[in-house]
Amino acid sequence: MRTAAIIPAAGRGERLGPGLPKALRELGGAPLLVHAVRAVDRARSVDLVVVAAPPEDPAAVERLLNDYEWVGEVLVVAGGLDRQQSVARALASLPEDVDVVLVHDAARPLAPPELVDAVAATIRRGAAACVPVVPLADTVKVVADDQVVRTLDRSSLRAVQTPQGFRRAVLAAAHAAVEQALADGGLPEGPAATDDAGMVERQGVPVVAVPGSEEAFKVTRPLDLLTAEALLTRRRA
């Protein structure tokens, strides 16, 4: 089995504030993207990495990544207008012999390679799809018009991380279904899927949950970048 890791990295990083696209913002002397590629490249299960770069200048991202040494092959494609498009473009560029696909946000630079391997192993053992999950620290309530509607049962809720793993055909079918729905002029019923597993769930495919890692947190806001700096400093000590 050949395993590829797709890194969607084409987002602007609006919530991080003004500056370069998020994947190119610096963390401990290297762009977030370099850390994220390193996380999957160092995982024993990953043979190939495909980065969906900010579409303005994918060649610049290719040059940046060529300055580093990688265990496996690292390819760059132009990302799209939303995350789904970015993943779809990378997926379309995969060599035919890849049968397991991991999708890992560039915005999760410090995910441990062991987590990457655990997700890949779940697919290699036969699962169609797999997500890493962590329990929630906060109580979660449904709120509308500044009024609490109800409180959800926290014991059954989990926050979902990446890398998410898929049999290639399962992920390709889910993306094809979204693209078909868009071409037909309407998105599927309900809120837009914010991750790949959400799209796969819509296809009725079972998704296995494995324990995530607190180090696989997503850099979304400025405070997350401070947390990432602190974790990196601790790792380097």
The binding site for ligand CTP (CB under 6 A) comprises 8-15, 22-23, 52, 79-83, 86, 105-107, 218, 220
Q: In the structure encoding, which two tokens stand for residue 193, read together?
A: 């899927």
Q: Rounded to an integer, what distance in angstroms lies between the CA atom of residue 175 and that of residue 196?
A: 8
Q: Which residue is nearest to ligand CTP (CB)?
A: 11
Nearer to ligand CTP, 15 or 154 (CB): 15
Q: Rounded to an integer, what distance in angstroms lies between the CA atom of residue 28 and that of residue 220?
A: 17
Nearer to ligand CTP, 7 or 124 (CB): 7
Residues 6 or more apart whose CB falls under 8 angstroms from that of 38 comprise: 68
Residues in the chain: 237
Nearer to Mg ion, 41 or 195 (CB): 195
Nearest distance from C-beta of residue 40 to ligand CTP, angstroms: 13
Q: Which does 79 bind (CB under 5 to 8 A by kind): Mg ion, ligand CTP, none?
A: ligand CTP
Q: Which residue is nearest to Mg ion (CB)?
A: 11
Nearer to Mg ion, 127 or 178 (CB): 178
- For residue 181, report the phi and psi dihedrals to the nearest 5 degrees: -60, -40
CB 39 within 8 A of CB 109: yes
